[in-house]
Amino acid sequence: MTDIVELPAVRDAVKQGGERGVAAGDGRQPLRAAVVKAAELARDAERRARDKQHAKHKKTARERLDLLFDTGSFEEIGRFQGGDINAGNAGAAVICGFGLVYGRKVAVYAQDFSVKGGTLGTAEGEKICHLMDMAIALKVPIVAIVDSGGARIQEGVAALTQYGRIFRKTCEASGYVPQISLILGPCAGGAVYCPALTDLIIMTRENSDMFVTGPDVVKAATGETISMADLGGGEVHNRRSGVAHYLGADESDAIDYARTVLAYLPSNCGEKPPVYAYAATRAERETAKRLARIVPDNDRQPYDMLDVIRCIVDYGEFVQVHELFAASALVGFACIEGRPVGIVANQPNVNAGILDVDSSEKIARFVRLCDAFNLPVVTLVDTPGYKPGAEQEHAGIIRRGAKVIYAYANAQVPLVTVVLRKAFGGAYIVMGSKAIGADMNFAWPSSQIAVLGAAGAVNIIHRHDLAKAKASGRDVEALRAKYIADYEETTVNANLSLELGQIDAMIDPEQTREAIVASLGTLASKRRVRPNDKHHGNQPL
C-alpha cells in the first residue's frame, strides 16, 4: 500500500502548503484539510526520526521495514492510532502492519525510538496486541523490531499491564506461527521477555543491548561497574549467554538473516515449508565423493563437520543458528533437493564434539523449533559422549542434558540420523537414535557405537588382568593394546547395532546424501499422531 505521504494528490497539496483544493473537473476528489495535515505530520515525523537515528548510526523504523519487506509490499495499520493530528502528534511509538517476504505475508511491529524513546504505553500495547491477534487469525509469522526505552514510566502500571498482554499473546502464538525478534537498539527490564519468548533473537555488534537491569542499577546494587555492551551486548548474548541466535554485522545483515530464516519456515504450524527448484548436476556427484576424504581414519583427529554438511545439502548452503554459542554442536537450516530441513550435528573440531550443558540446550531448542514447524531433522553424529566433571554436574548436565531426550522423543517430524564416526554411551542414544524415535538410521563403515570407547572399556573390564600383568612384570601396554583391538573388533563397530535393527544400513560416505534423500522421500507422508489425552508433558526446564 502506498504511504499517505506518497499519494500523488496528497504530495502535491503538501508541497503547496496544504491550501490547494482539487477541482472536481480534473477527475480527482477534493482533499480534506485533515488528510493534508496528517500527511504533513507523517512527513515531518520521519524527517525527525532520520535526524535522530542517523546521528546514532541507526536506521529509522520505516527504513528497517523497507529492508525487511519485498519492495512496496508493506501495508500499515493504525498509523495515527494514539496520536492527535490537530495537536501535531503523529501517533504512537510503534509501527504495525503486514508485508511480503519472498512473496509470503508476514506481520511486523517496529518500535520507533524517535518517538518518546520507543517506550511502550497503552497505545503501543493496544497496537501490538491487535497486530498479533490479526497475525494469529491470518496464520502468518510475526517479526518484532525492538528499539525501546522500555515501559513508559509516566503511565506506570498501565504500561506494565501492556507487557503482560504481549507476553500472553506471544505464548499463544508460540509454535503456531514463527516469531522472530530483531534487537536493533536497547531492550531492558521486563521488555526483554517479549523477545525471549520468541523462536529466534537476532542482535547486532553495535547498538544492540538486552538486560533485565542496566549498568546503573547493577552498580547501585552490587558496586560493579560495567558497560552496556559488556553487560548485555550482541557479543555477550551470542557467545556467552546463548540468549541470541545470530550476531549481525549491522542492521542490514541482521534483517537479511531474518528474511533468510523465514524462507525456510512455513507460515504456520499447519503448513509444510516452501519447496524450491533444484536441479542435480555433475558437481553434486563430485561433491559426494569428497565425503570419503573429510573424516580422518584416526578417531582422535578432529575435522570440520561443516565440510560434511556442505557436501550433503543443496549448493552447500547452510544457515547456522546459534553459530557462536556452544560450538561443539551445530544446528541450522538447509535444503535437500529443494525441501527445507533442520540439520543437527556434533562438531569434532570443538572439544571433540562432546555434549555439555550449553550444546544440549542448543540442540534441544532447535529440534523443538523444527518439530513445531514441520521441518524434518537430519542428525549427523560424531561424539564421544557427555562431558564429564564436577563443573558439568553442578551446572545441571542431568537436567539440561535431558532436554535433548525430551526434544527428540517427542518430535513427530521425519527424523533421519547418520553416525559418521563415534557414538558412545548416553550421547549415542539422545542424538537421534532409533530407540529414542528416529525413523531411519545409517552408519558409515568406520563408525564406532558402544557404551564406552575401547580404551575406557578395557580399563574397566580388564582392570584386574592388567593389574596382575603389571605385578608379574609383563608388558602391560602390549596387553592393553591387544584387549583394545579385540574390543573394537567384537563390540565397538556398528555390527551389533545392525543386528539389533538399531541401524537400518551401513552406507559408504559418498552415499550419505542419496540415503538421506531416499529416506525423506519415504517419510514425506508422515503425519502427527496424538498418543493419549494428556494436556502436555512436564519438560525439564
179 and 207 part of one domain: yes
226 and 307 part of one domain: no
375 and 257 part of one domain: no
Residue 519 lies in a domain: yes
DSSP for 348-380, please give it. TTTGGG-B-HHHHHHHHHHHHHHHHTT--EEEE
Considering 238, 264, 290, which residue would you say is the last residue of a domain?
Answer: 264
The pTM (predicted TM-score) of the whole model is 0.91
Range of the domain at 472: 454-491
Least Cα distance to 81 among 142, 130, 149, 25 occurs for 130
Give the integer Cα–Cα distance in Å for 301 and 295: 9
- Which residues, at least 6 apart from 286, have a Cβ–Cβ distance to it below 8 Å? none
483 and 507 part of one domain: no
Give the integer Cα–Cα distance in Å for 38 and 49: 16
Query: Each residue of 390-442: pLDDT tens digit?
Result: 999 999 999 999 999 999 999 999 999 999 999 988 899 999 999 999 999 99
458 and 312 part of one domain: no
Mean pLDDT, all residues of the chain: 90
Of 34-38, 52-56, 62-66, 158-162, the range with the lowest mean pLDDT is: 34-38
Using CA atoms of 182, 188, 190, 194 in order, give the dihedral in degrees to the nearest 10. Answer: 0
255 and 336 part of one domain: no
Residue 26 lies in a domain: no
What is the mean predicted confidence (pLDDT) over 231-253? 97
Active site residues: 189-190, 426-427
Query: Each residue of 57-88: pLDDT tens digit?
Result: 899 999 999 999 999 999 999 988 887 777 77
Residue 89 lies in a domain: yes
Give the integer Cα–Cα distance in Å for 114 and 382: 50
Residue 270 lies in a domain: no
Residue 469 lies in a domain: yes
Query: Each residue of 460-507: pLDDT tens digit?
Result: 888 887 888 888 888 878 888 887 777 777 767 677 677 777 899 999
Count of the separate structural domains present in the chain: 3
Residue 459 lies in a domain: yes
458 and 448 part of one domain: no
113 and 85 part of one domain: yes
408 and 477 part of one domain: no
In a 13 Å sphere around the CA of 424, the CA atoms on its Cβ side amount to 22
238 and 131 part of one domain: yes
Residue 534 lies in a domain: no
Res. 459 pLDDT band, cuts 50 70 90: confident
**What pLDDT shows up at residue 19?**
47
CATH classification of the domain holding 102 = 3.90.226.10
Considering 206, 234, 264, which residue would you say is the last residue of a domain?
Answer: 264
332 and 244 part of one domain: no
Are 199 and 160 a contacting pair, CB within 8 Å? no
Residue 2 lies in a domain: no
484 and 506 part of one domain: no
Considering 237, 264, 291, which residue would you say is the last residue of a domain?
Answer: 264
Coil/strand/helix, residue 204: strand
Are 263 and 101 a contacting pair, CB within 8 Å? yes
